[in-house]
Amino acid sequence: MIQIITILSILIFLLILLLFIKHFVKRKIREKEIINQPFPDTWREILNKRVRYYRNLPDDRKKEFEDRVKRFIAEKSISGVDTEVTDEDKLLVAASAIIPLFNFPYYNYPNVQEILLYPGSFDSKFQTGDKAGQKNILGMVGNGYMNGVVVLSKPDLKAAFDGTRHTNNVGIHEFIHLIDKADGAVDGVPEILFKHSYVLPWLKEVRKEMKKIKEGHSDINVYALTNDAEFLAVVSEYFFDNPEKLKKRHPELYKFLSNIFRQEPDKYV
Ligand SMILES: [Zn+2]
């Protein structure tokens, strides 16, 4: 009797393993298919219209951006909760992820599997309907049972990518938190990008800029004062959405950010 139970257990285990391998192989084949297809013209049109960063890239780097977009869309699940998800929405999510790490081509957010788009802002329990509390959150990186998930308000993501300059962008903001989180701590010091010797000078710069914001001598969003992690996310939005303005008004900060992200987005303009 015990022998039969043991054999059955082994068979069930093998069956589960087989199903898992089948699912994995199928997924990898599908990913390869997407990556090997030419970049659709309709996608290119959307990127040109909505993503200012992409529009301003030189042609050879546009091709690189497109390849990264295909890879991101192939590898991640992007779906909607009570809202439809179009190709345009997927492209805007991918752009949010790729822009900050454009010069780190081998990194494709291993700590994220799923991006959920919501029909609007939501409360701290990810509720968006009538029963929700204060719906003032536009985006969030999941923790605990939501680990590996990013939630974004679809209308706010779309507003962030309307093809014009801003100093805020919810998509970039959340992906900066994910880059920061990759070393295990969301602390405003993304160690995957930082050389160790850079930490102290950066923190000194953070304190200096925070003081200016507190004194009312800065156009950086006061939300940056929440903590070091929010500071990094807020100033990075500004850096990627309006690099010319940041360079003019905060040249030191611009220099720090361009060293961290290894790019000078104002040069593409
Ligand atoms: Zn944040």
Q: How far is the CA of 163 from the centre of ligand 1 (A)?
A: 22
Assessment of whether the complete model's pTM goes beyond 0.75: yes
* Side-chain-facing half-sphere of 13: CA atoms under 13 Å: 6
Residue 222 DSSP label: G
Q: How far is the CA of 196 from the centre of ligand 1 (A)?
A: 24
Q: How far is the CA of 220 from the centre of ligand 1 (A)?
A: 14
* Side-chain-facing half-sphere of 108: CA atoms under 13 Å: 15
Tens digit of each residue's pLDDT, the chain (269 residues): 778 888 888 888 888 888 888 877 777 777 677 778 899 999 999 999 999 999 999 999 999 999 999 999 999 999 999 999 999 999 999 999 999 999 999 899 999 999 999 998 888 877 777 777 777 888 988 887 888 899 999 999 999 999 888 889 999 999 999 999 999 889 999 988 887 888 999 999 999 999 999 999 999 999 999 999 999 999 999 999 999 999 999 999 999 999 999 999 998 76
> Domain spans of the chain?
41-268
Q: How far is the CA of 136 from the centre of ligand 1 (A)?
A: 12
Q: How far is the CA of 176 from the centre of ligand 1 (A)?
A: 8
pLDDT of residue 133: 76
Dihedral, CA of residue 235, residue 239, residue 240 and residue 244, to nearest 10: 150
pLDDT of residue 216: 94
pLDDT of residue 269: 65
Q: How far is the CA of 41 from the centre of ligand 1 (A)?
A: 34
Report the CATH fold assignment for 41-268.
Collagenase (Catalytic Domain) (3.40.390)
Q: How far is the CA of 168 from the centre of ligand 1 (A)?
A: 11
Neighbours of 108 (CB within 10 A): 16
Q: How far is the CA of 247 from the centre of ligand 1 (A)?
A: 22
Q: How far is the CA of 230 from the centre of ligand 1 (A)?
A: 5
Phi and psi torsions of 122, nearest 5°:
-145, 170
CB 217 within 8 A of CB 191: no
* DSSP-assigned beta bridge partners for residue 250: none
Evaluated on CA atoms 131, 133, 137, 143, the torsion sign reads negative
Both tokens assigned to 210:
């925070």
Q: How far is the CA of 68 from the centre of ligand 1 (A)?
A: 24
Q: How far is the CA of 66 from the centre of ligand 1 (A)?
A: 27
